[in-house]
Amino acid sequence: MHGIINMKNIVIIGLLLFNNVHAAGDPIAGKTKAIHCISCHTMDGNSKIQIYPKLAGQHEAYLIKTMKNYRDKVRDVPTMYTIAKKYFNNDTDIADLAAHFASQKSDTCIQQPQASQVGKMKIDSCAVCHQSDGNSVLPFFPKLAGQHKEYLIKSMQAYKNGDRQEAQMSQMALLFGDDTDIENIATYFAAQKSDTCK
């Protein structure tokens, strides 16, 4: 039961942080700024290429945190660092871009039951933060439902090998299992219908 109590504390801390740092961006201004993102993420954030994560309907607070992490090299990825240096100039730009993408709807509107079954047994420990269908509710826990499978695999591998470090996920990575398990979990979440679907 100890584990469950810890999880609850984490959730409460997440909520407190959210209340303190959330500054609402302007989605209209963000849409203009998003012109620099189109080539990889598309205008509405439903990127077509597996290695470019979908941003549509993602939690605003998570997007803000993540953009700052790229800018500050907490999340050290050259592609996004180059973008961050050019376009994440100040908190207003970041908040506006996040507001634009968060307000878009995911195009993952159909659940794929077949693919869903594969990784289902493995995701019990993820549900407390991401929900069992990947449509996480709390703002600092990214939605995984309908995200590109290849991007999910890359992210999980990065947590596992330490390229991407974040206290909660670096711990969770100990439970991922081997490459096949990781692929199965990614397949499962990618196959879920997004709750922001059109």
Least spacing, CB of residue 114 vs ligand HEC, in Å? 20
For ligand HEC, the binding residue among 40, 43, 115, 197 (CB under 6 A) is: 40
Q: Is residue 39 at the binding interface for ligand HEC, with CB under 6 A as the rule? A: yes
Task: Choose between 86 and 114: whose C-beta lies nearer to ligand HEC.
Answer: 86
Is residue 57 within 8 A of residue 102, CB to CB? The reply is: yes
Interface pick for ligand HEC out of 56, 95, 102, 185 (rule CB under 6 A): 185
Q: Is 145 an interacting residue with respect to ligand HEC (CB under 6 A)?
A: no
Q: Does 77 bind ligand HEC (CB under 6 A)?
A: yes
17 binds ligand HEC, rule: CB under 6 A? no
Using the contact rule CB under 6 A, the part of the chain among 18-26, 37-45, 107-115, 190-198 near ligand HEC is: 37-45
Q: Is 56 in the site for ligand HEC (CB under 6 A)?
A: no
Distance CA 71, CA 60 (A): 17
Length of the chain: 198
Q: C-alpha angle with apex 139: 119 to 24, nearest 5 degrees?
A: 145
Binding site for ligand HEC (CB under 6 A): 7, 10, 36-37, 39-41, 51-53, 55, 63, 66-67, 75, 77, 79-80, 83, 87, 97, 125-126, 128-130, 140-142, 144, 152, 154-156, 164, 166, 168-169, 172, 175-176, 185
